[in-house]
Structure 1
Amino acid sequence: MIKKLLQLQRYRLLSHILWGKKGRHYIEKYLSSKAEMDQSQKSFPLKDSHTLRIAIAEGGGLGDAIMQTLYIKEIRKLFTGKIVIDFYCRAFPAFKNFPFIDNCFPYTDNHPSSNYDVYIVSRRFYIILACDEKKVKKFSKKFLLFCKWCKHLTDDILDGEYNDNLFSQYALLFGKNRLEQANVHNILPITRHTKTYCDLDEESFGILDEYGLTTTPYITVSRSVDCKYNGNHPKLWPLDYYEDLVGHLKKRFPYIKFVQLGAEFGYGRINGIDLNLVGKTSLNQVKILLKYALLHIDGEGGLVHLRHILNGVSAVFFGPTNPKIFGYENNLNFRSAGCVNPCEWVTRTWTNGCLRGLKKPLCMQNLTPDAVFTSIVSYLEKIKLYIYESQYEQTLSKIEKSTIAFLGMPGQTDIQWAKGNSLIIYTPDLTLRSNCDLFHQGQKKDFFAEYASPYNIPSENNYYDMVYINQLEQCRHPFYALQEALRILKPGCYLLVEIKTQLILDAVNKICTNKQDLKYGLLKITKKDYK
């Protein structure tokens, strides 16, 4: 015990000497994660013939981890037998409530591959450290084919050269972006348009009220990179450019608040910001703030990827990273011609500053606020407003709509009802962790099922002809669940919801222009363009 205490004290002293408070924070965070890992491994279940145990380990930042959640979700759907999928990453607390992930652990370079039938390390492509091919074949031939292809790619084609820039160049040969990179040969059902997932913590919605953002339109802004890097990182857009942009936007839109987000150790406070929340929020609270912002402004990084899986739009500054790899089509992506070729991972020291030796990287210096301002103004002015009207329905009439979203926990009756082009969104609250039957039923019975949160539905805006919500009474915040359901509904179409509590009716009356008295039954909400 004394030896361990001395070792701990040496870690803290060394970190304080080398990096001060920031270094001490890193080491203490590492030691805390290591302790949690050690504790979890003590009670690790033994492998058995009836359960396939898979681990995916991602050592990158938040954005890299978010990419992996899409793969874990789609890999789970391949199986009908009992499987366990564990996720090792640095931001592991953020994914503990994802319904398709069984366990989240802190990332470690000492990979516990012997505990798993399949152990994968993500380096943009997948490195297969362990694979019991005979056992995997019994559960899913397609997943075995994917594992074999990954091993062939890294061992034979790339010849063990694990370089992120090389991986990106190889993916571009096939027209693939970062999201599709590990599936470059299309073995898994994953494309850049595959539905994503992100939960919203019901305990964290209070942050909107706390800072007066419930009824005030706002834009989130961030100037940060992975916290292990310093302020010379070439991905950082100049601080004075941020201030210039924010100042002009505030003059153009004086009713919009600007909220700065970021980790505890930020990379400069932006003057002119209305609300500085750098280092003052949990990741769950950041999700809420990003979800309900009009726009997020940032350099390419983790919060941009988080905003994407929350179905939001970002204005993104690209410098050393390639928008063809890291960009999303629905975002406002900016890159100047100051430096023609992206230099990410051309050398291992690319994060220390401009590789051309310039004090200020031209790729960012030449990306002026004026061009960014014009595009953002154009986007904000095109945001459409809608009004909603409600009325009670006696019975559910025959449905002849072409695209339908069913939100809730469907029973067999609901599954029979959802046919043809209709879609069931399943809000599982962790109940599907070991059961993917609904997805396989959908393949046989002509409907599509997907993981979702009632507050974050994986769909574009204004897509469905009709939306039906089931079991809304289970949501603590029905107002935000209704808002999300109405987001995906086309103008001129309607949403159906059962009024079972006063809380649900209050949420409806808060959204709709007309008010209803409490009457238990079916309520129809019609979405109309605001004129």
Structure 2
Amino acid sequence: MEFIQKLSIGDIVFLVVAIGIAEAVGFVFLIRYIAVVFVFLIRYIKKPLKKLIEAYREQGAVFVISKLREKGNVFFIKHGYKNVEAGKQYSKKVINFNLFSKRLDIYEEYESSFVTIAFYPTGGMGDYIISAKILEEIQACCNCQIDVFVEKKVFGEAIYGGRKKVKVVSAEDFYIEAIKYDLAVLVEHFVHIIGKKDDRLLQFAPNLYDKVKYIENNWNKLYVDISEQCWRERIQFERCKVLGLNRWTELRMGKAFNVENMRVTIPFNSLYKKDFMAVKFYGTRYVTINYGADAMKIGFKQLKLWPKEHIEAFVKSFKQRFENVNVIQLGGADAEKLAGIDFYVLGESIELTKYILRDSLCHVDCEGGLVHLATQLGTKCVVVFGPTPVHMYGYPQNVNLYSDKCNNCMGLHEDWAYTCYRGDGAPCMKEIDSDTVLKSVENVIYDDKERSEDVV
């Protein structure tokens, strides 16, 4: 909600109080709010604002009182003026007073023919990859500069870095910085509109404006309004199953976005090519394998991990079957080393991992970030599914294995990632034996060999 006028000190006081009356819930909050505002105005704002009014009155001073919601109500008084021309851009100096934290921000806003976008993907690397589809569609429909706000900077740079007109920044101040952008969105299983400037979008990005308005107008139908994440996601997964949607196509948000396929561009950092060429297995035939998943609980393993004894049995059988094919274990620095592995690449950069995955004959893993990455790089995966729903996270070009006896319990209860709902110790993963995975990997390797011979 924004009010834009040329204001005197009296006008500012009146509007702040008016907003307090309109927004307050209950008389106690109203009295507290008015008291805080008046104290702040008298002690901190009156003199500097009076000087600003005197200094900029002739330049067409504009005062804005705006509201930004983040864990409660945060109110700003924004001052700005537009009088500096720099090419096709027009500068507007903005002074933000946070009435509760007493924070003062002074910065330049620029109005131009391109729109500025704050893009906040949540989750892990796989989620970053999927959310990149929305970023690419936004780029395709307008001239824009996008700042990607990420919680995991390494993943963010790996997926979003190197793109034109895209900058990766920390998500720490996203909700404060969002007001500076023409559009601010947060992407998870839904695309949330956090903030927008309708006039700018309508003028310079009409197609994007239509998408935003569609989401806003249909939000109650599109969103699952349940506070608990596990229940919200579970309902969403069931809705997607009925509608024939998956983790990618759910981001269409009805008819707002296209999401015609499950492909995005993964940038490569050429500086890491020499590192790839220096590994001992460079130029050999190899498969990759991962034993690990996000540590959402420190000291605990997720149920979706294929049992270690099953993986090591697979590695042993694979080496007996393919003596001249190396097995490379990928993962983080704290990953458990598997027995029988030819080469370990643990704790290395994601940029090096991209090169390794790209040239792998096959990648073996549970559902996770490396599967999403490998698939985008054209490497076929054999994926062992358990709690995670195949209809949401499975790629049709991969071999997706799951137990008919038990699977797809994600979101059935709050601790689904670590505690088996049946109390049986994850039979969904134990039911998939090493021979089943070996046969699947064999088929992938032989199919790849036949395709290579056909190309030659």
TM-score for both structures, normalised by structure 1: 0.61
Match of 2:285 in 1: 217
Shift of 1:121: 1.1
Q: How does 1:340-489 map to 2 (within 5 A)?
A: 340=407, 342-358=408-424, 360-384=425-449
Give the corresponding residue for 2:116: 53
- Structure 1 residues 223-234: aligned runs within 5 Å: 223-229=291-297, 230-234=299-303
Larger radius of gyration: 2
Using CA pairs below 8 Å that are at least 6 residues apart, which structure has the higher relative contact order? 1
- Find the partner of 2:396 among 329, 332, 344: 329
Distance 1:237 1:343 in 2: 16
Decide whether the 8 Å contact of 2:314 with 2:434 is kept in 1.
Answer: yes
Aligned equivalent of 2:149: 88
Deviation at 1:152, TM superposition (A): 4.2
Gaps of 5+ in 1: 1-40, 389-490, 492-527
Report matched runs for 1:506-521 at 5 Å: none
Question: 8 Å contact 2:293–2:305 — kept in the other structure?
Answer: yes
State whether structure 2 residue 357 is matched by structure 1 residue 290: yes
Alpha-carbon distance in 2 for matches of 1:256, 1:123? 39
Deviation at 1:175, TM superposition (A): 1.0
Question: Aligned letter for 1:221?
Answer: I
Letter in 2 for 1:66: I
CA RMSD of aligned residues (A): 2.5
Q: Give the deviation of 1:207 after TM superposition.
A: 3.1
Distance 1:387 1:102, change over 3 A: closer
Shift of 1:130: 0.9
Conservation of the 8 A alpha-carbon contact between 2:128 and 2:159 = no
Aligned to 1:483: none
Give per-residue Cα distances to partners, 1:121-150, cap 9 Å, x unaligned.
Answer: 112111111122232122333322322333
**In structure 2, what is the equivalent of residue 68 of structure 1?**
131
Secondary structure, counterpart of 1:277 in structure 2: strand
Provide closer, same or farther for how the CA distance between residues 196 and 272 of structure 1 changes in structure 2, counting only shifts above 3 A.
same
Q: State how far apart, in whole Å, the 2-side matches of 1:45 and 1:220 are.
A: 49
Q: How many residues align?
A: 344
Task: Please give the per-residue CA displacement for 1:307-348, whole angstroms capped at 9, x wherever unaligned.
Answer: 1111211111111111111011111111111314x1222333
Query: Is the aligned partner of 1:106 residue 2:170?
Result: yes
**Contact between 1:125 and 1:150, CA under 8 Å: does it hold in 2?**
no
Identify the residue that residue 462 of structure 1 maps to in structure 2.
Answer: none
- Residue 204 in structure 1 maps to residue 267 in structure 2: no
**Cα separation, partners in 2 of 1:129 and 1:272, compared to 1, 3 Å:** same
Residues 3-152 of structure 1 aligned to structure 2 (within 5 Å): 46-79=109-142, 81=143, 83-89=144-150, 90=152, 91-95=155-159, 97-108=161-172, 111=175, 112-152=177-217
Matched letter for residue 412 of structure 2:
V
CA contact (8 A) 1:216 1:256 kept: yes
Who is 2:324 aligned against? 255
Q: Hey, which of these two has a bigger chunk of helix by percent?
A: 2
Report the residue type matching 2:208 in the other structure.
Answer: F
Distance in 1 (alpha carbons) for counterparts of 2:364 and 2:252? 29
1:242 to 297, 304, 311: 311
* CA-to-aligned-CA distance 1:42-97 (integer Å, 9 cap, x gap): 89752525331111212200000111112211210101x4x211111222222453
TM-score, reference length from structure 2: 0.70
Which of 205-214 and 313-322 deviates more? Answer: 205-214
The one-character-per-residue Cα deviations of 1:270-315 (angstroms, maximum 9, x if unpaired) are 1111111222x10101111111111111100000001111121111
Measured at CA, do residues 45 and 260 of structure 1 come closer, stay the same or move farther in structure 2, by a change above 3 Å?
A: farther
- Report the CA distance shift for 1:183/1:45 in structure 2 as closer, same or farther (over 3 A): farther
The 2-side partners of 1:99 and 1:110 are apart by: 20
- CA deviations on 1:417-456 (whole Å, 9 max, x unpaired) are xxxxxxxxxxxxxxxxxxxxxxxxxxxxxxxxxxxxxxxx
For residues 85 and 44 of structure 1, the distance between their equivalents in structure 2, rounded to whole angstroms, comes to 18
Structure 1's 369 and 350: CA in aligned 2 closer, same or farther, altered over 3 A? same
Q: Percent identity?
A: 23
